[in-house]
């Protein structure tokens, strides 16, 4: 059984990783995972209550400031806010005491007393964590800082010792602020979840849990309320704010007959909606499920950094001792050798790597979510950035799936309206998209025809005033989508229809081309129809008359040629292709559950333009990740070298460590603020 808990009070990703490893070693606990940025702890256990007790006990030992609770317990959040005030107060008092003792003449005993109090106020949590982890046979960055402070005190570098712990604590404060900002962006998504639904039964409204509403029920949504479940409007008209759902800032007007997604906010009027899904299958529920699990699939870069930090700290301690030994052997100066070893410890803290890389990816995922693109993990975010080809399914992906009449050709003695009328008589009860388009276009009143017979694979037959009519496809002509109408086996005329292109499809294909990405159309339609759509959208390559298996084989062949390919689809038959592609993009509104499950990226509002949004955000995020890695590595290597050679002192080392951490964090936050819709130069 999978259980999810809320864990607050962790102040660094390394601490979270160490705690996660320890929890996974507990009896009866499997697959424990801590999402540092999301304050989430998940695990599997046959006895969850017993496992929770063990986890709480272990957490108190390793991370006394951490609090474990059930999700959305506000009391824990209040406790954490008070702890933040206590931490800030201790930091300010510690700095004030440090300044006081260095600038005021004091008796020796008073100087040392205040010095120790200052050092404890500035870093008591760091020292406690270092000692506790050391007793468990583990070392981390807390130990590096503790050794540096104690070492500096031993060799009488008191000011530098306090500066080390003061700047480290300030850096941790910046980390906390940056992470909390990212957390708030995800909490905004959580606020999209509706708390209730107004169920209409016998003209009376009853407020219920959205999960209790059955498919086909009538719900009422008033001005200012969130739409709780997907449905179709049966009464009323309103402007809907879908900004938090799709990223679109302009409200959209919805009227009777329009589909409406859960998560949108009704700005005016009152709507009665007939639900078309259960709450768990609604758009908002899908979004929250994907967001909750998005950070479980980590990129190769993030996984590598995570694995590296496990052994990094121990390696740093060993190298520091080695440098101390080499310098001592070369200079015969024990104090100078010890000092240079301490500098190495300070500079080597892995904070910049440990926090900036996952924070960059998390910010990118959060930004994508705000823009109506749900990416199921940072690994898929990474792969999106390297795509060099995107293949599209046609119907429901590039087109609306709704047909419109383009041409009516009547036979002699019949008008266009006659052809349309007799066709509508036969198609009035059909749910086929072509039938719906014909019935909608007919303007004459339609009689109810009872003796309608379906001719398998061809169309329908009916009798009117003793005349036999046929509506469908009798000839073998396959040049375009045509419905033929016959009276007593003589042609009345033909109706030519086409699937309507989404208004954003052309721009999506143009943008992909500007970004240096090839496009392909993989369609089950005939050659003429497929090539016509490809020409309209300026798509590079066209494959027609394809079965689902042939689409799958095409994508597989591309991968064998080392082409990084994405596939965009919405139907059940697209699921195999979505799974085999390097990145599968599915449609969130009209997409089949199987296609959404098989895909790696979900486009919330079915807008193909959002594919370019996903790629732009992924490229920008990956750029930031490597900027942080290179920046941190270059600065650390430079100051490690200078410190080992005795060119720089400990203060410079502290500024280098804390400075690069703060810079990396601030740089990571750019991924959250990046605007993918802003005009920019593309490669």
204-208, 237-241, 335-339: which has the minimum mean pLDDT? 335-339
Tell me what the mean pLDDT of segment 662-675 comes to.
Answer: 84
Question: Is the distance from CB of 212 to CB of 239 less than 8 angstroms?
Answer: no
- Are the CB atoms for 498 and 482 separated by under 8 Å? no
Q: How many angstroms separate the CA atoms of 295 and 316, rounded?
A: 29
Instruction: Give 494's pLDDT tier (boundaries 50, 70, 90).
Output: very high
Residue 642: count of CB within 10 angstroms of its CB = 17
Greater pLDDT, 145 or 364: 364
- Maximum average pLDDT range among 216-230, 359-373, 559-573: 216-230
- What percent helix, strand, coil does the chain show, rounded to 5? 55, 20, 30
Burial class (CB in 10 A: 0-12, 13-18, 19+), 229: buried
Q: What is the dihedral of CA 526, 531, 533, 539, to 10 degrees?
A: 130
DSSP 2-54: EEEEEEE----HHHHHHHHHHHHTSTT-EEEEEETTTTEEEEE-SSHHHHHHH
Predicted confidence at residue 541, as pLDDT, reads 92
Confidence at residue 121, expressed as pLDDT on a 0 to 100 scale: 92
Q: Name the band, by pLDDT with cuts 50, 70 and 90, for residue 313.
A: low
**Span 142-166, average pLDDT:** 81
User: Which bin fits 169, alpha (ψ -120 to 50), beta or left (φ > 0)?
Assistant: alpha
Tell me: pLDDT of 94 over 70. yes
Q: Identify which of 136-150, 377-391, 580-594 has the greatest average pLDDT.
A: 377-391
What's residue 291's pLDDT?
54
Q: Which of 577, 501, 570 is nearest to 543 (CA)?
A: 577
Query: Looking at residue 485, what is its pLDDT?
Result: 94
Residue with tokens 């959002």: 610
Give the count of beta carbons closer than 10 Å to the beta carbon of residue 486: 19
User: Which residues share a beta bridge with 560?
Assistant: none
DSSP string, 308-328: HHHHHHHHHHHHHHHHHHHHH
Distances (CA, A) of 197 to 207, 244, 266, 274: 6, 19, 13, 12
Within 8 A by CB and 6+ apart from 262, the residues are 194, 210, 226, 227, 228, 229, 230, 279, 282, 283, 284, 285
Residues 615-660 have pLDDT tens digits of 999 999 999 989 988 888 888 788 878 877 878 777 777 777 777 8
Nearest-CA neighbor of 408 among 400, 416, 396? 416
Structural tokens at position 588: 């969130």
CA–CA dist 609, 373 (Å, integer): 10
Query: pTM of the predicted model, to two decimals?
Result: 0.68
Q: Are 601 and 556 in contact (CB under 8 A)?
A: no
CA atoms within 13 A on the CB side of 344: 25
pLDDT of residue 232: 92
CA distances from 346 to 44, 94, 312, 350, 407 (A): 38, 20, 13, 10, 77
**Listed range (11-15, 75-79, 403-407) with the worst mean pLDDT:** 75-79
When the pLDDT of each residue in the chain is averaged and rounded to a whole number, the result is 81
Please choose, from the candidates 664, 674, 627, 676, the residue with its C-alpha nearest in 3D space to the C-alpha of residue 179: 664
Q: Which residue, among 271, 287, 307, has the nearest Cα to 197 in the 3D structure?
A: 271
pLDDT over 90 (residue 117):
yes
Mind listing the pLDDT tens digit for each residue in 550-589?
A: 888 999 999 999 999 999 988 767 888 888 899 999 887 6
pLDDT band per the 50, 70, 90 thresholds, residue 247: low
What distance in Å separates the CA atoms of residue 587 and residue 578, rounded to the nearest whole number?
11
286 CB burial (10 A radius; 0-12, 13-18, 19+):
buried
In degrees and rounded to multiples of 5, residue 195 shows phi and psi of -90, -20
The residue-averaged pLDDT of 387-415 equals: 88
Of 387, 249, 358, 480, the closest CA to residue 17 belongs to 358
Query: CA-CA distance, 665 to 660, in Å (whole number)?
Result: 9
CA atoms of 12 and 34, how far apart (whole Å): 12
Query: According to the model, what pLDDT value does residue 468 have?
Result: 92
Q: Percentage of residues in the chain with pLDDT exceeding 90?
A: 24
- Decide if pLDDT at 678 tops 50: yes
Most confident of the following: 328-332, 577-581, 665-669: 577-581
CA separation for the pair 500, 340 (Å, rounded): 71
Torsion of CA 649, 652, 655, 660, to 10 degrees: -110
- Tokens standing for 3? 């259980």
CA angle 392, 396, 401 (to 5 degrees): 140
pLDDT given at position 653:
74
Helices (H), 191-282: 243-246
Q: Is 110 helix (H, G, I), strand (E, B) or coil?
A: helix
Helix pair 158-190, 74-103: axis angle to 10 deg: 160
Task: Write the burial class of residue 32 (CB in 10 Å: 0-12 exposed, 13-18 middle, 19+ buried).
Answer: buried
Antiparallel, parallel or unpaired: β 459-464 and 453-455: antiparallel
Instruction: State how beta strands 238-241 and 231-235 pair.
Output: unpaired
Taking 80 as the threshold, does the pLDDT of residue 495 lie above it? yes
Q: What is the mean pLDDT of residues 541-549?
A: 86
Q: What is the mean pLDDT of residues 45-52?
A: 88
pLDDT of residue 503: 87
d(CA 59, CA 332): 45
DSSP letters for 383-420: HHHT--EEEE-STTTTEEEEEEEEEEEE-TT--HHHHH
- Residues labelled as active-site residues: 393
Look at the chain and count its residues: 683
* pLDDT for res 470: 93
Strand runs labelled E in 209-331: 218-221, 231-235, 238-241, 252-254, 259-260, 265-266, 271-275
C-alpha torsion sign, points 281, 287, 290, 292: negative
Q: Does residue 375 surpass a pLDDT of 90?
A: no
Residue pair 553/570 in contact by the 8 Å Cβ criterion: no
Percentage of the chain beyond pLDDT 70 is: 83
pLDDT classification of 608: cutoffs 50, 70, 90: very high
Name the residue with higher pLDDT: 327 or 516: 516
Q: Report the sign of the C-alpha dihedral through residues 215, 218, 222, 223, in that order.
A: positive
**Residue-range domains of the chain with CATH:** 2-72 (3.30.70.100), 116-187+297-362+622-673 (no CATH), 214-277 (2.70.150.10), 373-398+503-604 (3.40.50.1000), 400-501 (3.40.1110.10)
How buried is residue 173: exposed, middle or buried, by Cβ count under 10 Å (0-12/13-18/19+)?
middle
Query: What's the confidence (pLDDT) of residue 116?
Result: 92
Under DSSP, the state recorded for 459 is E
* Structure tokens that stand for 9 in this block: 């009070």
Residue burial 196-205, b: 16+ Cβ < 10 Å; e: rest: ebbbbeeeee
Q: Which of 256-270, 311-325, 400-414, 563-577 has the lowest mean pLDDT?
A: 311-325
pLDDT score recorded for residue 193: 67
Q: Which of 227-241, 273-287, 402-416, 423-437 has the lowest mean pLDDT?
A: 273-287
pLDDT, one tens digit per residue, over 408-462 is 999 988 999 999 999 999 988 876 778 888 998 998 888 888 788 877 667 889 9
């Amino acid at each position: 059984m999978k259980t999810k808990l809320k864990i607050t009070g962790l102040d660094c990703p390394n601490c979270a990783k160490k705690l996660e490893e320890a929890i996974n070693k507990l009896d009866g606990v499997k697959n424990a995972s801590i999402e540092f940025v999301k304050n989430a702890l998940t695990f599997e256990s046959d006895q969850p209550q017993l496992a929770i007790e063990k986890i709480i006990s272990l957490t108190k030992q390793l991370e006394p400031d951490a609090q474990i609770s059930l999700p959305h317990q506000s009391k824990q959040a209040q406790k954490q806010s008070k702890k933040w005030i206590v931490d800030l107060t201790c930091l300010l008092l510690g700095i004030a005491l440090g300044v006081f003792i260095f600038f005021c003449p004091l008796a020796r005993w008073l100087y040392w007393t205040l010095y120790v109090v200052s050092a404890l106020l500035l870093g008591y949590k760091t020292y406690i964590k270092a000692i506790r982890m050391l007793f468990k046979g583990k070392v981390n960055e807390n130990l590096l800082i503790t050794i540096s402070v104690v070492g500096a005190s031993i060799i009488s570098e008191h000011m530098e010792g306090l500066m080390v712990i003061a700047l480290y604590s300030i850096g941790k404060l910046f980390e906390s602020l940056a992470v909390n900002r990212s957390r708030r962006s995800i909490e905004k998504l959580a606020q999209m979840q509706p708390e209730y639904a107004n169920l209409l039964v016998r003209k009376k409204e009853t407020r219920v849990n959205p999960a209790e509403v059955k498919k086909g029920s009538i719900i009422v949504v008033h001005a200012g309320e969130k739409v709780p479940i997907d449905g179709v409007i049966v009464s009323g008209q309103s402007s809907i704010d879908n900004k938090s759902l799709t990223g679109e800032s302009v409200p959209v007007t919805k009227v009777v007959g329009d589909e409406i997604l859960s998560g949108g906010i009704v700005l005016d009027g009152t709507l009665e909606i007939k639900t078309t899904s259960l709450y768990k299958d609604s758009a908002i529920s899908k979004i929250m499920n994907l967001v909750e699990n998005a950070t479980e699939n980590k990129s190769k870069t993030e996984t590598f950094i995570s694995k590296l930090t496990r052994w990094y700290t121990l390696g740093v301690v060993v190298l520091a001792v080695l440098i101390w030994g080499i310098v001592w052997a070369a200079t015969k100066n024990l104090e100078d050798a010890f000092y240079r070893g301490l500098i190495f410890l300070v500079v080597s803290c892995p904070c910049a790597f440990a926090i900036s890389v996952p924070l960059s990816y998390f910010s990118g995922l959060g930004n994508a979510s705000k823009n109506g693109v749900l990416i199921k993990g940072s690994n898929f975010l990474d792969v999106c950035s390297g795509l060099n080809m995107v293949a599209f399914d046609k119907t429901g992906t590039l087109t609306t799936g709704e047909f419109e009449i383009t041409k009516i050709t009547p036979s002699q003695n019949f008008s266009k309206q006659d052809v349309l009328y007799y066709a509508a008589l036969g198609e009035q009860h059909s749910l086929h998209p072509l039938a719906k388009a014909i019935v909608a276009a007919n303007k004459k009143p339609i009689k109810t025809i009872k003796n309608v017979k379906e001719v398998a694979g061809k169309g329908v037959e009916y009798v009117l005033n003793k005349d036999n009519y046929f509506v469908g496809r009798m000839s073998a002509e396959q040049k375009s989508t045509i419905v033929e109408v016959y009276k007593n086996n003589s042609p009345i005329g033909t109706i030519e229809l086409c699937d309507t292109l989404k208004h954003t499809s052309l721009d999506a294909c143009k943008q992909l081309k500007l970004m240096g990405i090839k496009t392909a159309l993989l369609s089950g339609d005939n050659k003429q129809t497929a090539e016509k759509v490809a020409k309209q959208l300026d798509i590079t390559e066209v494959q027609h008359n394809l079965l689902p298996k042939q689409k799958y084989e095409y994508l597989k062949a591309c991968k064998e040629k080392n082409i990084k390919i994405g596939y965009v689809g919405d139907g059940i038959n697209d699921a195999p292709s979505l799974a085999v592609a390097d990145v599968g993009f599915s449609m969130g509104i009209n997409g089949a559950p199987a296609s959404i499950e098989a895909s790696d990226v979900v486009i919330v509002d079915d807008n193909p333009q959002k594919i370019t949004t996903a790629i732009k955000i992924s490229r920008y995020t990956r750029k930031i990740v490597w900027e942080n890695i290179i920046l941190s590595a270059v600065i650390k290597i430079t100051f490690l070298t200078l410190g080992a050679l005795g060119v720089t002192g400990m203060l410079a080392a502290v500024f280098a460590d804390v400075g690069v951490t703060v810079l990396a964090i601030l740089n990571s936050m750019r991924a959250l603020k990046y605007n993918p819709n802003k005009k920019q130069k593309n490669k």
